[in-house]
Every structure is written in C-alpha cells, then in structure tokens.
Amino acid sequence: MPSIVIPMANDTREDITIFDETTREQFRLVFPGAPLSDMESQECLAAIARVTPRPAFIIASGSLPAGVSHDFYGRVAQALKTGSKVIVDTSGPFLKAALEAGVYLIKPNLREFQELVGITSTDEATLVEAGRRLLDRYRIEAIALSMGLDGALLVTRDRALRANGLPVEAVSVSGAGDSFLAAMVWSLVNGNSLEIALRYGIAGALPRCSIPGQSFAAPRTSTALHPR
C-alpha cells in the first residue's frame, strides 16, 4: 500500500487487543498517543492537499492525538473542497467540527450517534428522524450508522435503508466498523449506489466478527453475503 510518511518527534500510540480463549472475552487496551506539535499537524494537512491526482474519496478515521485542534478533520474537508468526497469516522468534538465544515458521509456507531444527537433510543424511526435533522442542519449527504451485529442504517435526505444483521458468532469485533466502511467505499469507488455499498459494508463487517485476532475478511469468507 503506497504511504506518505510524515516524521514526528514522538512514537505513535499503542492499541492492544487481548482475547481470552477460555472465557471468550475480549479486552481492549487503548493508550493515549503522544502530543502532536502544531508544525506536525500542519504538515499532515499540507501532505493531504498535495496529493495528486485527487482521490475520489478521502477517509478521515479514528481519534486524534493531543495537541491537534478539534477542527482538524473539518480542515481536511476544507482543503479538499474540489475533487474528493470526504468521509469521516470519528466521534465527539472531532465529529461535530467535521459536520460544521461539511463532508460527504459520516459513519458513527450507535453509541457515537446517540451522543451526537442527544438521544438514548434505539428505535429505528427515532434514529432516522434524528439523522434527518443532522442532514437538514449540516452540509452532509449521508449517514452510515453501524449497529454491530444488528446491522446498519443508511440515512439520506430522501431515503432510509436498513441492513439487518446476520447470524454469525462474534469472536472479535475489533476492526468490524473499519471493515464495514472500507467495503462501502470500495463499492462506491467501483461506481455502485449507496444502497449496494451498504450491502457490501455488511458483507465486509460481519464475517470480520467471526475471525479472531486482527485478520480481515477476504472475498472467499464473504461469499454467502455477497450482494447480487
């Protein structure tokens, strides 16, 4: 995978997942990263702006280290106002700032979405209504709400699509949301609609839940879920 390497003074953070084979429990140890200087964060933005040709999609994903302003992902979107659609997968103040800047799509999980819109309900109609309020308020086109083994919900201004969960035995949920979004974007890059992309998202995420460790679902593990 081609990479753009940006040197920094400190080490990046550690994120460790432990799976107990006896109890089948999973423990995640997510340590805070070292602070990023203003010069380092500015170089990140500059490196993104220099990418040519412009990619069809930019995914801004995860939390951000100390020292980075809350509007960092929003500034990513502003730097790529032409030529790329920005998708944001984050939470809290970073997500809110990205909404205010305007992005193509956001992918919160259920907890992150509930915190964003200030509700506790899991009722589908309530979630759709809350999503539509976000779409009316901000310059975004779609919300892909991942709901774990319960599937996912895709909300646009004129459609609400529900992808139900499938009966898989959850061994590890680490990376399931990332797999969901990666498969969705792969589908969009290949010219599919958001509806088809949602199906690919589920096909990528749920097999991931049945694979131990940090491995990801390959096409052969997703055959039964492959959308037609």
Does the active-site annotation cover 38?
Answer: no
Cα separation, 42 vs 154, whole angstroms: 33
Among 15, 136, 150, 178, the active-site one is 178
Nearest residue to 202 (alpha-carbon basis) of 219, 169, 177: 177
Q: Which helix (H) or strand (E) holds 151?
A: strand 151-155
Query: From CA 131, how far away is CA 189, in angstroms rounded?
Result: 24
* Residue 19: Cβ within 10 Å count: 14
The answer to whether the beta carbons of residues 147 and 111 sit under 8 Å apart is no
Alpha carbon distance 217, 228 (integer Å): 18
Q: Which sequence positions are flagged as catalytic?
A: 178
